[in-house]
Amino acid sequence: MSYVGDLAVLARKLGKAGVRYGLAGGAALAAHGIARSTVDLDLLVEKEDLARADKVFLALGWKRIYRSANVSHYRGGRAGRVPLDVIHAFRTESRRMLKVAVRKRVPGGASARVLRPEDLIGLKVQAMVNDPGRKWIDILDIETLADRGKRLDWRRVVEYYRIFGREAEGKALRERHRRT
């Protein structure tokens, strides 16, 4: 299978199974018109739907290689699927992200639930805090989302920065991208 093929089948099967999910990472950036090379699929999945999502992933040929309270990681297994990383939505903020996710066309023409740009920025800020080695790719993604965001909810963006102790950076981002 291919990245685009995996994304299309996942969107269709998760929707059919009633799984509350939101596409994140590089595929979500692409759905928002931002081209970025990526080798995996990232999803935010409602905690109560993890068992159903797991059944979908396993039936499609993924093999779960890791699970914690916060994330699950799947690899291609026998079907040669692209890597799949799942963030478990159980906190107030992540559940809100799923509630406001929008349906968009994704690479290959499929329709999928996609996290809003503000929420993708929030996850990028968290990723920078969790893994400083990826800081520059996350900053590039954040700057590109902020630059292309037609009507970002800047209160949400600055709040994500505040949550992670980086409020000044969030305010500076807003100033750089202020629209007149």
Tens-digit pLDDT profile for residues 133-152:
999 999 999 999 998 766 89
Report the predicted TM-score, pTM, of the whole model to 2 decimal places: 0.93
The yes-or-no verdict on residue 180 having pLDDT over 70 is no
Give the mean pLDDT of the chain.
Answer: 92
In single-letter form, the type of residue at position 43 comes to L
CA dihedral 52, 53, 54, 60 (to 10 degrees): 110
Q: Residue 32: which residues within 8 A CB-CB, separation 6 or more?
A: 104, 114, 117, 120, 145, 148
Tell the burial category of 99 from Cβ atoms under 10 Å away from its Cβ (0-12, 13-18, 19+): exposed
To the question of domain 1-115 being in CATH 3.30.460.40, the answer is yes
Tens-digit pLDDT profile for residues 31-72:
998 887 778 999 999 999 999 999 999 999 999 999 999 999
Predicted confidence at residue 94, as pLDDT, reads 97
Predicted confidence at residue 59, as pLDDT, reads 94
Task: Return d(Cα 171, Cα 55) in angstroms, integer.
Answer: 42
